[in-house]
Each structure stands twice: as C-alpha cells, then as structure tokens.
Chains A and B, each alone.
Chain A
Amino acid sequence: MTTLFPHRESSAQVSAAVIVFPGSNGDHDLLQALTLCGFSARFLDAEQEIPIDVSLVGLPGGFSYGDYWRAGVLASRSRAVRSLAAFLQRGGLVIGICNGFQILVESGHLPGALTYNHPPRFVHRWVKLRVTEESARSPWFSSLPSGTELRFPIAHAEGSYRYADSSSGIRPAIPLLYEDNPNGSMSDAAAVLDDSGRILGIMPHPERACDLMLGSQDGLRLFQAAQRYLVRRPIQ
C-alpha cells in the first residue's frame, strides 16, 4: 500500500539527499556511505529544491557541468544549491566533498576560495589528516576529539584553499589539517566549517574511506556523528 507521506513511515531513519549535478561522479559513493551509516539516502536532481523531509544534504565530488570554467561556479547557481539557505534555517546539516566543497565556497555558504593546486596538477593520494580544536562545536566532529588522526584519499586539481589573510586575525574555522600539505592550502586546511559548524566543506574523500577493505573506515566516524546528532535533534 502506498502512503502520501512515505518519509513519515521511516521516521526511525534520518533522511539524507545527495544532490546530483550533471558531471557529478562521487554521488554513488556518497549515497552508499550515508546508507551504511543508517541514513535513508536518495539522489536529488540539481534542478529540484531540497524536499522538506531531508535532514542532511550531501554535495558530491565530480566535475559539475564539466567544470570547464571555475570549478563549482555553475553548480552554485543551481536550484538545489539556491534552496540550501531555507534548508539550513530548518536546522539541517550539509557536507560538500571535493567538488561539493568548491560549490559551497562558490555559493558563499563557506568562506574563502579554492584554486589550482600547488604544484599545479591533479593529485590522487592517501593522506593523513589531524582533527583540530576548531572542530569542537561542530556536529560533524562530535565523536572525533581534537588530535584524532584520519586517513582519507584526495583526488582533485583545484583544492588549494585560500582565505583573506587579514591582520584582523579573523580566519575560517579549520577542523581538519593535512599532515603533509599536498596542494598548497593556506594553514594546511583540508576542511572548513561555517560559523554554525553545521556546514562542512572537505577536500579529501571520507565517503571513500568507509570500508577497511578499501584502505580505511575513518570516514564512517563523520557520517555516524552526523546521524546521531540528527536523531537527537530532528529538524523542524
């Protein structure tokens, strides 16, 4: 029997949506990781608004719209991304991975900019990361004390993180550092949080590190923390 409100039937499960942009290629991996961590996850076309039942939005890796122009710039104008503001007001969590991080920066949800790696080439590598104290207030890092080491792969050409290096001392919240900076990011930043701590932009790929067979399951700890947070604090 069908129901008018399918999401209410699975209320034990938190709903997550992975936005699929034309040219996304990490969408399946992210959906798989979210499902593994207990989310009821589904794909969402980039030209649709974020549905009301969704508690977590994932922006996957890839080359949205080909990324022939500045990476992420076209995707940042898509309908789904434009509806993020309303979604955030409802109290949801957002993760943008690799191209998704670029999109969040381009759309102004995260501070700073991402530009060509230094040295200027695409780089794939397994990297070691360290959790910083700036992660403390973020739901994404609630089970990851400062100093925790994580191992994720990176795969990007435009992942060098920059921010206005003002004398004011104000800088973005950087929850995760590269141990051996692979791309010239300022302050060795591998990830950035917004002021609320609910929006995470991350260059390495936690969704590719959810299975020991593949080399690491450290990624589970991020998604599981998000899942527990949302179970405790359902969105309005």
Chain B
Amino acid sequence: MNSPSSSDEDPQQASVPLVGPLSSELAAKLASSMGLLPQEYLAITDRLQRQPSHCELAIFAGMWSEHCSYKSTRHLLAQLPKEGARVLAGPGSHAGVVDVGEGWAVAFKIESHNHPSAVEPYQGAATGVGGILRDIIAQGARPCAIMDFLCFGDPDSADTQRIAHGVIAGIGGYGNAVGVPNVGGRTQFDPAYEGNPLVNALAAGLVRPDEQRHARASREGSLLLLVGAATGRDGVLGAAFASEALGDASSHAKRRSHIQIGDPFSGKLLQEAILSFGPAQGLLATQDLGACGIACASFEMAALGAVGLDLWLDEVPLREPDLTPLEVLLSETQERFAIVIDEAFRERAVMHFQQAGLTAAVIGAVQQTGHVRIYSRGECIADLPAQLVAGGAPRSEWTAAAALPAQTARAASTFDNKSPIEVLLSLLTQCSDAEPIYSQYDQTVGNKTICGPGQAAAAVIRLPDSKRGFALTLCGRGDLCASDPFLGAQSAVAEVLRRMGCVGAELVAVTDGLNFASPRDPVQYLRIERVISGIASALRTLGVPVTGGNVSLYNESPHGAIPPTPMIGGLGIAADVRLCPRAVAQQGQRLYVLGTLRDHPCASLYSQPSEAASVVPDVDLDAERRLYHLLHSAIAERLLSATKPVSRGGLLTTLARLCIRSQCGAELTLPSHHRTRWLLFGEYAAQVIVSVDSPQQAERLSVLAEQQQIALTPLGIMTGTTLHLAQVLSVDVRELRAASRLRSAQRDAESAVRS
C-alpha cells in the first residue's frame, strides 16, 4: 500500500543548512523526505515565488501534514451541518460551544491519540487527555467531564495487554490528578484493532457565554507570551508521525522521540493560571500548544487575526540546552499555552504565571505584515505568509473505488449449533462490564456527576447550584461500519439520539471523532466518504449540528487496516436532572420494550459469517425520532423508572445486562416470532427497554406510545434471582455476571497501577 514517505531523519537532511537558498533539486528532495507531496511542494514555490529554505520547508511539512491541515477530508467534512440555534462556537474553534441555559455554555470536543498510544500507551493516553483538556481551557471553559472511547485488539494477545494496561493507567493517571471526573466511555476489544488501538478522549467544560476565549491575534505591538512548561525535545515531528501508518512493534523504539510526555501537575497549575487570566489582565488571544508546537500556534493565531508575528526563538525557555531552532519551533512539549497580551500588561502577566509555578516568556510581537518572521541567533530563519502556512495546504485528491468489495467473512465463531444460553453468555463476554476499568477513574470530583459510568444510558452532569444539567454520550461501531460504512455511521448517530432520549435530554450538538485507515487506498477512501456522508445525512434528518471534532487517518499496522470507526459524542440538555431514569430496575417493576420487535438478519454481534455479505445495520431514523419524543414525554410525566437502550448483543443481551446491574432476576415472555434467534440477538433500530412501577403508569405509557406510533410490548416483571424467558432459557443472574466479567487482557488492564 502507498504509505507516505517516512519522516525519519534523512542523513542528508541534517547536513542541509536551515537558512539560505537551496538548489531546486535539493529543495524538492528535502520536501519529499519530509513527507510533502510533489504538488504541495509546487504550491509552495508557486505561492512564495521563491525557493523555501530548509527551515521553511520543515514548517510547511508540519503544518501541511494531515494531522494539522485535514487536507484529505476537509472537503468531505464541509457537508456536515454546523448551524444550530444554541451553537456559540463551531468547527474551527478550540472546541465547540453550546448554550445550555441559565447563563452557562458547554465547550466540548473529541480528539484522538491513536498512534502515540500504540508506541507508548501510558504517555500516549495521558497526553491525549491533557491535550483535549487544553482545548477546552483555551476556549475559556473550566473542564468538568472526560469520556474515553478505546478500541483494543485481540484481548488475548500480549501486545493488546501491553497497550490496554498502559492506556487505561494513562487516562486515569492524568484525569485523576488534574481533578476532572471521567463520566463514561466505551472499551471494545476486537482483533481488527490489533497493533493500532484507537484512543479517543472527549472533554467538556463550563463557560459563561460572554467569557469565551479565542485565538485571533490582534493589535500591532501586542506581545506573544509562551507560558507553562519549559520546552524540551519531546514530541518533535509528532504531527508527521501521526500522519502515516504504524510500523510493527520493533519499529516503535525509534518512534519514542515523537512521543510527548504528560505532567498533570503542570497541567493543573496551567489550567488555574490560564482560567484566572482574562481580558482584565490584558489578555487578547489564547492558543494551546499541540501538534507542531510553537510553529502551529503562532501561524494559526496570526492567520486567524489576519496579522503577522515576529517570533524570537532565543527567548523560549528551554528544559535542555542545545535544541536546534527547528526543534524549538516544532517541539510538542505538553502543558504550554501561547497567549497574546496587551504590551502594557507585560510585567504583571509574566509575574502572574511565574507565581503559579510556571515559566513565562515574551517570545514575539504582533506585526501588521501578515507574515510570521522567525528569528534565531540574530538571523531571520523563516519569513512566511501566515495564511498560506495555516490553511493553505492544497486539498489532497484521492481516488475513491467504484464500489466496496464484497464482505469478507469476519472470523467470528458461528452460533449455529449453540443453545440460546450459550449464545447469550458468549455475547455477554464480548460486551463485558467495564466496571473494573472505569473504577480506576475518579468519577465524582467536582460535585457535578449525576450519572457516572454505567449508571444510566448517558452521563449526566449538573450545572453549578442547579437542577438543570447536560448529558454526554459517546457511540460508534467499527464492526457495523465494516459491514456498511454509510448505515454503520448513521446507526452511531441514531444510538446517540436513543441514549439522550433514555435520560430525557434534548440532543443539541455532536462532536465527531473519525478514525480511518489510509485515504490513499481507493477502497478505504470510499469508506471514508460513505461514513462522513452517513453522519451528515443522519444529522441533517435529525436537525443536529456538529460543533467540531477530529479526523485520524492512516490507522494501519502490519496486522492490517482498522475498520472505519466514527465515534459520535452527543451533548444534550436535561432540564431537570432529578428526572433522569437510571439503568437499574427494581424488584417488582414491570418491563416493557418500546419499539417494533423485528427478526430479519441484520449486522450485529450475532451476525453469522455466512450471512455477512448480505446483512447491513438496521437504521430507522424516523422511528428513532418518535421514540425519542415518546421517552421525553414519559420521563417528564415520571412514568419510567429505568431505561436501557437496546444495542450491542440485541434485546436479550441488553435484558441480561439490566438484570446483572440491577442484581435481580426477571420473569419474561416474548411473542413468538419466525426467527426467534434474530428477535433475541439481532441489533435493531429504535428499541428501548423500560421499567415501570405501577399499572396506572403502564397504561399512561401505552397512551403516549400510541400517540407516537411506537409499539409497546410487555416483557414481564423483575423478580427472583434467575433470568427466565418462557420457552427459551432460564439462567441464574450470577452466571450472567460471571460471563460478563473481563477476559485476560481486560483482567490485566484491571490491575493497571498509577505509575
């Protein structure tokens, strides 16, 4: 497969002087060795009307990398709906911001840290959390919730155990220390992610709508202040590394220098120092430092403000001596911010950050030139138009295949000869209880967690001193997208809506974390197109905007390419968090399933390999919307005690998980169907299990269901210690619990220690 040329140090590269004219032949060669495509190099020389220097080429290589420029996908992302009445900041901001009422707004965004987590799992995951928190802080918001979506390989492989162990410890190690609660997430084990785990983190924070920050540099003469940790050599060229396929485990050693190191203590100090430094202290613009470090921050701030910047690299506080100017420019040392301040506030600003235990130095000044000029040791080593570097990357035009190849059978065990109990236990093992993982995360610090991990269909956070709150959920299924990328992506959006309905929250915006393989492969590129158009069409149908997100490409390892895996993070508003039903039913309550029972073969954990070519995910957005409205009315009338959306493993698996969590059995009957197995284990659209206290409430629920034309089927009653489904199975809840306990890699991850 065509993989971008490696960013490994070219022996020639080191010997080429940073400054000064290059021969066109050497410049082209250098550009290619840095990962720039021939047409990109041509665009550079064309727009500059001269040969770029070595240093300038390195800046382009970083800023025009896939990671920083979205050059392969931004034209596809353009089709996503972005407008919404409550949207205060959309794509292009540090994080999306949505008005949630009572004078509060929520900033939220998802980000991936897949490649670093494959190489150095603890630091990869920890800095992933640190990075997304800084995005929220840069928007002026105080972080109040983290979610994580993790996809690991074969749970029995040693590499998966290494990765899962480190990633889970890293997420906890950073989030616990900075004191932001982890309120939910997903962990999936599937051999399709062997060698290339997906580690995506979502963060949300609270901000007053009129106290948002932005990154637009302005006012000639104002100063660029670099604050936070001193700059070291860590993470140099991380952006380029994240923009190519992963090698095997043995190649990881030489990738370690591309990995950033997280320091949650500095992160916490920086958070407090940044959030307490506002316009009254002379603040004009804020930018967190991530990919491509100082280079990216300065070019982006200048481009956004349509101004120029002079940058003095000798002023950057260093952690170690002898960094080359390029290393200073491109280092991805964590826990740093760049802020633009009014020059009259210089002394007080520097003192503010130094008193917080952080380094702070003026490293530049705003100019009206529109150019960023970079000086090192008295010499100008780069002079480039800000808007060309930040945002000028030519779109990468990849070819999409005409059609997706016929499905190759997934190497799943066949369920043909197994009894319903055996199928159920096997499916429970596949979607095992993640409690041993999330119990390693602080879930309640901050006193806002109404529903944390596993407690309800979505996480629910309250606003300060209020009964009003917001809900967060994170949904996505690589396995469904592998069978049909368009419908698989739609089903992820549908599940977000269903989960919001289950906690009585109004879905107001989503953030999308898109994880794909190489766009250079026509089949993969077609999958990317289909997933994004699936998300766009579902969101348009439901009238929900995207306020930002992340695209991670080149998720490939020698084990193969990952299935396209969109992760849709939904934000909902809960008018009264006291009404939110939990995912726990009580003894004596009646169970119902809302939504039409179906039995046609569809893509599911239960999908038979022989049928894989013909089955697709079941999606019915119209029914989802009616179900969502029904749930809202029923919750407002306090009719529902527990709600549990039917998802992985289908109806019976969901019922079994409800019994496990409720520590109670159930006596159930289902109307007979043609294909009972599919009825029980197929994953169909728009189904939710609910528990109801009294016959009067059930009667009222059936009236509401009829109004929304949603089928209501009585299932039975919560009772005893056995899950009994008439004429199908009878199994002790303790046995179900044992099956849902974790397998080897998960068990190993369970013992992860904060290191």
Contacts and interface: CB of A to CB of B under 8 A. Distances in A.
Interface in A155-204: 155, 157
Nearest to A153: B444
Interface string B165-195: 0000000110011110000000000000000
Contact of A29 (B178, B447, B578, B751): B447
A32 B447 contact: yes
Contacts of B439: 123-125
B568 to A, nearest CB: 26
Interface residues of A, number: 33
Contact of B265 (A23, A122, A153): A23
B437 to A, nearest CB: 10
Contacts of B462: 213
A220 B357 CA distance: 35
Given A66-B264, A120-B753, A124-B439, A26 B445 contact: yes
Contacts of B294: none
B752 interface: yes
A120 to B, nearest CB: 5
B754 interface: yes
B449 interface: yes
A68 interface: yes
Contacts of B264: 63, 66
With a 10 A CB-CB cut-off, give which of A23, A68, A120, A215 has the most chain B CB atoms: A23
B443 interface: yes
Nearest to A158: B754
B559 interface: no
A25 B269 contact: no
Contacts of A215: 444
Nearest to B443: A124
A205 interface: yes
Interface in B731-753: 750-753
Given A153-B444, A214-B450, A66 B754 contact: no
B754 A157 contact: yes
A122 B440 contact: yes
B751 A23 contact: no
A63 B269 CA distance: 11
A41 to B, nearest CB: 14
Pick the most buried of A32, A157, A211: most chain B CB atoms within 10 A of its CB: A157
A148 B203 CA distance: 38
Scoring A65, A116, A155 by chain B CB atoms within 10 A of each residue's CB, the highest score goes to A155
Interface centre among A29, A121, A153 (most CB of B within 10 A): A121
A121 B440 contact: yes
A119 interface: yes
Contacts of B269: 22-23
A175 to B, nearest CB: 22
B447 A22 contact: no
A29 B440 contact: no
Contact of B176 (A28, A65, A155, A213): A155
A62 interface: yes
Nearest to B173: A122
Contacts of A62: 179
A135 to B, nearest CB: 24
B441 interface: yes
B219 interface: no
Contacts of A153: 443-444
Nearest to A126: B444
Interface in A19-69: 22-23, 25-26, 28-29, 32, 61-63, 65-68
Nearest to A117: B753
Interface string B263-289: 111001100000000000000000000
B467 interface: yes
A121 B753 contact: yes
Contacts of A155: 176, 442-445
Given A120-B753, A121-B753, A121-B754, A28 B446 contact: yes
Given A25-B178, A205-B444, A214-B447, A157 B753 contact: yes
B471 interface: no
Contacts of B357: 22
B577 interface: yes
A109 interface: no
Contacts of A122: 172-173, 176, 440-442, 753-754
A121 B440 CA distance: 7
Contacts of B450: 213-214
A221 interface: no
B449 A214 contact: yes
A121 B444 contact: no
Contacts of B754: 121-122, 157
B179 A211 contact: no
B265 A29 contact: no
Contacts of B177: 23, 25, 63, 66-67
Given A63-B177, A213-B462, A213-B578, A123 B446 contact: no
Interface string B408-451: 00000000000000000000000000000011111111111110
A68 B177 CA distance: 10
Interface in B442-493: 442-450, 462, 467
B179 A26 contact: yes
Given A23-B265, A26-B179, A62-B179, A123 B577 contact: no
Contacts of B173: 122
Nearest to A182: B439
Contacts of A23: 177, 265, 268-269
A148 B179 CA distance: 30
23 contacts: A22-B357, A23-B269, A25-B178, A25-B179, A29-B446, A29-B447, A65-B265, A121-B754, A122-B173, A123-B440, A124-B441, A124-B443, A125-B439, A153-B443, A155-B442, A155-B443, A155-B444, A155-B445, A205-B444, A208-B447, A213-B578, A214-B449, A215-B444
Interface of B: 172-173, 176-179, 263-265, 268-269, 357, 438-450, 462, 467, 577-578, 750-754
Interface of A: 22-23, 25-26, 28-29, 32, 61-63, 65-68, 116, 119-125, 153, 155, 157, 205, 207-208, 210-211, 213-215
Given A26-B445, A62-B179, A207-B447, 15 more contacts: A25-B177, A25-B445, A28-B446, A63-B177, A63-B264, A63-B265, A68-B265, A121-B751, A121-B753, A122-B441, A124-B442, A155-B444, A157-B176, A214-B444, A214-B447
Q: Which are the 6 A-B pairs with shortest beta-carbon distances?
A: A25-B179, A66-B265, A155-B442, A63-B177, A157-B754, A153-B444
